[in-house]
Amino acid sequence: MKSILIFITLCLLTPSLWANSTASFPKNINEWILVKESIIPGKNVELPEGTSLFIQNTVRTYNWINQGKGTKLNIYVPKEKLTSYKTHGPYADGPTAVGIYEDSNIIFVTEHIAGEAIYGTYDREGNDISSSHPSFNVQACIQCHTSNKDICMNGTCATPIIDIFQK
């Protein structure tokens, strides 16, 4: 009994460790529009000189995905949000964008509620996998998506990582 109480107390004290996706899994993603084809380079890929710290940090956070081999990252937006996505918001309520790690079973979701961005991580079947890795924790999403105000505005960040290889 005592250990159960301690366990419950720990759970209550560490909500961020147990936090689930706050954005919900959007319906009809397959009807959304592909706005960006990006990549997460593999672990052994050297980023071009002059790559911003922000992008380096993003790559380092997620290049473990797909066994560190790198993956395509395609970004889709629902039709009704195309215009606001181009201007980085402001966004109406509802689902805003998904980032699909094409070479693995991971979908990042951004949704807006009362002007604020909320986040979630799901597999293709719609199972919430945000607690399966620390970098999927919604606090990690919020932290990074608000840390660089030049690149991320109103909770979206769309700087194609692939651009750094195309100069």
Place of tokens 């991971």: 106
Least distance from ligand HEC to the Cβ atom of residue 103, Å = 15
Q: Which is nearer to ligand HEC, 6 or 163 (CB)?
A: 163
Residues 167 and 163: their CA atoms lie apart, in Å, by 7
Q: Residue 27 carries which DSSP code? A: S
- Nearest distance from C-beta of residue 140 to ligand HEC, angstroms: 5
- In 3D, which of 110, 109, 133 has the Cα closest to residue 121? 109
Closest CA to 111 of 50, 31, 23: 23
Shortest CB 109 distance to ligand HEC, Å: 6
Angle at 66 between CA 76 and CA 106, to 5 degrees: 35
In total, the chain counts a number of residues equal to: 167
DSSP three-state, residue 79: helix
Nearest-approach distance from CB 58 to ligand HEC, in angstroms: 4
Nearer to ligand HEC, 5 or 15 (CB): 15
* Residues at the contact surface with ligand HEC, assessed by CB under 6 A: 36, 38, 57-58, 61, 73, 75, 97-99, 108-110, 119-121, 136, 140-141, 144-145, 156-161
Q: Say which residue the tokens 């706005």 belong to.
A: 35
User: Of the two residues 32 and 108, which places its CB atom closer to ligand HEC in the complex?
Assistant: 108
In the bound state with ligand HEC, the residue whose beta carbon lies nearer, of 25 and 136, is 136
Name the residue nearer to ligand HEC (CB basis): 6 or 90: 90
CB of 4 to ligand HEC, least distance (A): 31
